[in-house]
């Protein structure tokens, strides 16, 4: 897929391990990309059907504001980070900029060993 980093959250130590979910804003970001090919759009749509989407709540909006007060960060990225923080989840992304968000655990999925 194009630049699709499909930022998703992955449950950390507590609860059901390895549970994955998407921030609702990721759907807008990925499907709204102007140069999205038909094949990429289909792949994204399939991903969104497989993974639960975490809605943007008041708690997430409040956390987003706090993040943006501390860092110069794009609003969609702040929402993704806030979603992970509010839900106590790690964020799996290749975008190293998320490492600046205090308290956010970031996992680079491109750096994980191939288990296949």
pLDDT digits (tens, 9 = 90+) for 1-52: 434 444 554 443 344 455 788 888 988 888 888 888 899 888 888 888 888 8
Q: Are 9 and 86 in contact (CB under 8 A)?
A: no
Q: Between vectors from CA 26 to CA 20 and to CA 30, what angle results, nearest 5°?
A: 120
Is pLDDT larger for residue 67 or for residue 93?
67
> Binning pLDDT at 50, 70 and 90, where does residue 105 land?
very high
Say what the pLDDT of residue 45 is. 86
Domain that holds residue 81: 8-111
Please, what is the end-to-end C-alpha distance for the chain in angstroms?
Answer: 20
Question: Residue 116 pLDDT > 50, yes or no?
Answer: yes
- How confident is the model at residue 17, as a pLDDT? 54
User: Reduced to 3 states, what is the DSSP secondary structure of residue 10?
Assistant: strand
User: Is 1 a domain residue?
Assistant: no
Measured CA to CA, the distance from residue 2 to residue 54 in angstroms comes to 23
CATH of residue 56: 3.40.50.1010
pTM of the model: 0.78
Please report whether residue 116 resides in a domain. no
Overall average pLDDT of the 53-68 stretch = 96
């Amino acid at each position: 897929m194009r630049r699709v980093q499909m930022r998703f959250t992955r449950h950390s130590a507590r609860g059901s391990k390895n549970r994955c979910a998407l921030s609702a804003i990721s759907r807008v970001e990925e499907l709204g990309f102007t140069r999205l090919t038909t094949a990429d759009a289909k792949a994204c749509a399939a991903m969104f059907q497989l993974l639960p989407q975490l809605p943007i709540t008041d708690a997430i909006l409040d956390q987003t504001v706090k993040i943006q007060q501390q860092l110069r960060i794009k609003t969609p990225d702040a929402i993704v980070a806030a979603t992970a923080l509010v839900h106590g989840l790690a964020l799996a992304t290749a975008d190293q900029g998320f490492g600046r968000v205090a308290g956010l655990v970031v996992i680079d999925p491109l750096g994980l060993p191939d288990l296949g």
